[in-house]
Amino acid sequence: MKIRDFNRGWEFHSDKSAEAQIVNLPHDAMLMENRDKSNPSGGACAYFGGGKYSYKKKFNHDEENKNVIMHCEGIYQNSKILLNGEMIDERPYGYAAYYISLSEHLHSGENEIEIIADNADTPNTRYYSGAGIYRNINLLTAGESYILPDGVRISTTNNDTVHIKTEMHGTGSVHVSVYEDNVVVAEGNGNDVTLKIPNAKTWDEESPFLYSCKVELIESGKSLDSVMKRFGIRTLVWSGNGFFVNGKNTLLRGACVHHDNGILGACSFRDAEYRRAKILKEAGFNAIRSSHNPISSHLLEACDELGIYVMDETWDYWLVHKNPYDQANENFLKWWKQDVESMIQTDYNHPSVIMYSIGNEISELGTVKGQELCDEIANYVRAFDETRPVTCGVNLLLTGMAQKGKGLYSDSDNKNGSQSMDSMPTSAFYNVLMNKMGGLIDKMASSKAADRVCDSLSPILDIAGYNYATSRYQKESKARPDKCFVGSETLPKTLYGNWKLVKAIPNLIGDFMWTGWDYLGETGLGTIRYIHKKTKENAYKGLPIISGSGVIDICGTPQAEVAWNKIIWGLQDEPAIGVDPMQFPEYTRAMSMWRNTDCVESWSWEDCDGNKTNITIYASGARVELILNGRSLGKKKVKEGKAIFKNVKYIPGKIEAVNLDATGKEIGRTALQSATGNTILKLEAEKKQLRPNGQDLCFIELSLVGENGILKMNADTEISVQISGAGTLQGFGSAVPNTENSFISGIYTTYRGRALIAVRAGYEEGEIHVSVSTDGISEQTISIQVKGEE
């Protein structure tokens, strides 16, 4: 079928305003809502309000196109599709991609499609959801005979053989061609074809080679339809011996990642998803878990290209409501099969997808009813795809409580998922428990109650997934030596011990930390807050907006402990210096279970001379030495990949860390320098040119630097951004934990000297002009070209 980008020029209506706006998709309507502490969505959804939205678009129908199908990749939520005023389809789940046949309802000539997204009833989520049509919409057209959408399924039987199955409508014969770098290397005929690829190149994290497969529908020598799909040749085997990709034992260095894109809200753009995947890969991660809903097609494509393994996850709930207005129970039971089918249809040809997770922290798994449903879901997944294992993120505290008829999520009026307590470092009661007694919760994972749940789930799940259950690992390995399992959700600060277990236990296949990339909502979960010793006020004003639990912030800036992760994984030898922020000497630090440090790689703190700070050196050696302006501050033994120097006085200049082996020989060195001179606005565009397709993005990193080009960590100020010409502002913001600013206003306060601008190309060639200004600093401008093919 011919695929037409259907994202341009929708008439948008909100229940908050009588005025219509013309928007291009993807579009996150939630970013247009006011943030207020009184909003029932609470801190879970970053205090954004709910709403009901309508998107309308007129288009002409050519009767030669006998079959017309619309593909919606993501609408949050309770979507209804109307064509010429008639409702023709609906889907409650806000993360499901689905197809709608328009053919029987179209008129000759002009038609009007309307999509309604109803997110008025809140709270309905435990984290930021976004709202409206936040992923792409495409229009698919064909004649009488065509290849069904997602009708080409490519699987690998071994490291040089692929199986291609094609589903079609109408008449015609199928011809299949496999391309390597635009050259045909194998071809065959039929709806069910097995092809041997000469000198086949396999796909994995180190060498993610992608082939192209063209499937053509032919009748009487004429091509009726064709589809081009990319795929990778890779095999998966899982057992008590481990997890094997192409026969190689593979350990998963995992990041849990929510679906939002920070300053873009929930919107998914190819450039944004590729940027995120690239930064994650550079930070040492080789796997992501799509917490807790199906991943976007753009992120899947990026993972295919970059070599990142994906655990794709379906839901955050089944039968028991975690919020009063989520889709649990009635809607879940009605729609779960369609949701599973949608996810597998999207994922099937992507080599990056290595595992399906059918839920997160489903408390009812502690009951017979929940276990029976788990078995039904797992078998349904296997019926559509038997090439990948099925797992589930199991929280053994919650299942243990459910065994006893208790639970945090135990009735339809439950609000625990959305309560927010600004005086606490998190937004939900379970998270409060974790902060106060996380160690005890981990120990409960090895209790007899946990044993019973694990025994019941073992025959159901191909790979057991355990959230915050490190204490269980040795026990689980001995109890089921023939099966592998994974740490599906863990604390970043426990990585050193976790990874020792991963390397030591043959059937423990990896560790997924919460989180690899920070996210909106679940506010304050991992934020280290600064509270004034006398007034008890937070150093950062405004409503909390981010979780603060990511080792990479919402703008893509890696935190200092990313170096620690890479050292633990054996990916980095060079030492790194982490400095505790020192601009708040009159404040105490309130720590979080999820993050026990907010140190940064900087020795540039204006007006902080004489302030004391702690310095963490991350290193692979036996000892480290700290040197400040040429004077040694001593040597310390490295324990668990780090050494801490306490109460170091800040003196501007140069601070160095020297990595030493057991004999005292230097094996590495790194240094940080202070900024000097006046503050300058610095702009760095990640692209020089965009295509006029309405979808390309250019990210511009904004930083406040000294005259020597070094970042000033505490020179934060409110910045204004103006865009003119052949593009628009898609988002502007920083990783500041609390704010009254909006990502779509063009005004935002920097955080630790940084902010991020996202500029979106229009549909016409030209030049985009970006102007950035703030009080007391010279204005800066930058231009981006928009030209070339769409």
What are the pLDDT digits (tens) for 144-154? Answer: 999 999 999 99
Domains annotated for the chain, with CATH where assigned, are: 2-142 (2.60.120.260), 160-231 (2.60.40.10), 568-601+607-673 (2.60.40.10), 680-786 (2.60.40.10)
Confidence of residue 428 (pLDDT cuts 50, 70, 90): low
Closest CA to 721 of 778, 773, 667, 780: 773
Per-residue pLDDT tens digits for 262-285? 999 999 999 999 999 999 999 999
pLDDT digits (tens, 9 = 90+) for 742-775: 999 999 999 999 999 999 999 999 999 999 999 9
pLDDT digits (tens, 9 = 90+) for 277-318: 999 999 999 999 999 999 999 999 999 999 999 999 999 999
Q: Residue 585 — very low, low, confident or very high, per pLDDT cuts 50/70/90?
A: very high
**Secondary structure of 487-539 in HEC code, one letter for each residue:** EEEECHHHHHHHHHHHHHCCCEEEEEECCCECCECCCCCCCCEEEECCCCCEC
Using alpha carbons, select from 738, 730, 733 the residue that is nearest to residue 750.
733
Inter-residue contact 289 to 336 (CB < 8 Å): no
Find out whether 530 and 589 touch, Cβ atoms under 8 Å: yes
pLDDT of 433 reads 62
Q: What is the mean pLDDT of residues 191-197?
A: 98
Q: Is the pLDDT of residue 781 over 50?
A: yes
Residue at token pair 């970013």: 31
pTM above 0.85, yes or no: yes
Give the per-residue pLDDT at 418: 43
Distance CA 505, CA 448 (A): 22
Q: Which pLDDT score, from 0 to 100, does residue 273 have?
A: 99
Q: Average pLDDT for residues 500-519, to the nearest whole number?
A: 98
Of all helices (H) and strands (E), which one includes residue 282? helix 270-282
Please tell me whether residue 717 adopts helix, strand or coil conformation.
coil
pLDDT > 90? residue 419: no
Rounded to a whole number, what is the distance in angstroms from the first to the last CA of the chain? 19
How many C-alpha atoms does 127 have within 13 Å on its Cβ side?
24
Percent with pLDDT over 70 in the chain? 96
Amino acid letter, residue 95: Y
436 pLDDT exceeds 70? no
| Residue 596: per-residue pLDDT | 87
Q: What is the per-residue pLDDT for 405? A: 85
Q: What is the chain's mean pLDDT, rounded?
A: 95
Q: CA geometry: angle at 376 spanning 372 and 380, to 5°?
A: 170
Question: What span, in angstroms and rounded, lies between the C-alpha atoms of 24 and 8?
Answer: 5
> Is 437's pLDDT higher than 90?
no
CA distance 339 to 681: 47
> What's residue 441's pLDDT?
76
Cα gap 531→523, rounded to integer Å: 16
Q: For 161-198, b where at least 16 C-beta lie within 10 A, e where not — what string?
A: bbebbbebbbebebbbbbbbeeeebbeeeeeebebebe
User: 407 pLDDT exceeds 90?
Assistant: no
In the block, residue with structure tokens 């208790």: 406
Strands 287-290, 697-705: pairing kind: unpaired
